[in-house]
A = this chain, B = another copy of it.
Amino acid sequence: MSTIEQRLVELGHPLPAPAAPIASYVPALRTGNLVLCSGQLPIIGKEVVFQGKVGHDIHEEHGQHAARLCLMNALAAIKAELGNLDYVRRVVRVEGYVQSAPGFSKQPVVINGASDLLVQVFGDKGKHTRIAVGVSELPLNAAVELALWVEVDPA
């Protein structure tokens, strides 16, 4: 098991199985020294486990769990593309979309669920840029959608 995966296990977040490719798009791909993933939902198996609007149906703390679950699925997708998360040279960007109830403006708190875990796992090289925005609707009524970019060593 790679160092990064071992660290995830120690933190209580073992890597899930990667999702199968869906029709015309893929979970992750490499372009140059970047590996990008598709927008990930808070899914376990085939079930979206955090549904609804954060700030109304879902408390912001559960929104953080949802963001973390999206991140775990993103890491699984990137590992499937890359072979080993130890090849990650640094995390580059988190894109966090929070399905938000009217008037909810704590998207950064929600996405911290993912951002903080990245730094716990990857240390300084887990520090990333990010966007965090609130949207009215997400696929399958998911509470959060999140995409991740990482930089890897030259091929």
Interface-lining segment among A4-12, A29-37, A58-66: A29-37
Stoichiometry, copies per complex: 3
| A139 adjacent to B105 (CB under 8 Å) | yes
Question: What 1/0 flags go to A8-27 for Cβ under 8 Å of B?
Answer: 00000000000001011111
| Given A107-B139, A139-B132, A141-B105; A126-B39 close (CB under 8 Å) | no
Residues of B within 8 A of A38 (CB): 129-131
| B23 adjacent to A133 (CB under 8 Å) | no
Residues in chain A within 8 A of chain B (CB atoms): 21, 23-29, 31-34, 36-39, 90, 92-95, 97-98, 100, 102-108, 112, 115-116, 118-119, 126-142, 145, 147, 149, 151
